[in-house]
Amino acid sequence: MTTIYRCITEDDTAQFCHRVTEALSRGWQLHGSPSMAFDPVKGIMRMGQAITKDIHAEYHPDMKLGQQ
C-alpha cells in the first residue's frame, strides 16, 4: 500500500470547491486544513487543499496523480 499526495490550488471560486469535491468522490481524503492567500498580482484570493489517497501500487514519479 502506498499513500500518494496532491495539493489542489485554484482561485477562490466555485471551481476550487468542485475540484476538491471531485477528488473526494474518487477516494481522496483531506489532509489538513485548506489554506488561503491573497495574490496581489491578480488581486484575488487563492485557495489550496492538500489531499492524500492510499493505493495498491508502487509509487513512480511518472504517475498521473490526478487520475488515481
Domains of the chain: 2-60 (3.30.1660)
Which range has the worst mean pLDDT, 2-6, 8-12, 62-66?
Answer: 62-66
pLDDT class for 65, splitting at 50, 70, 90?
confident
- Averaged pLDDT score across all residues of the chain: 94
C-alpha dihedral (40, 42, 44, 47), degrees to nearest 10 = -90
Q: What is the pTM of this model?
A: 0.87
Find all residues with CB under 8 Å of 1, minimum gap 6, and list them.
Answer: 54, 55, 56
pLDDT class for 54, splitting at 50, 70, 90?
very high
- Using alpha carbons, list the distances in angstroms from residue 36 to 4, 11, 12, 21: 23, 9, 8, 17
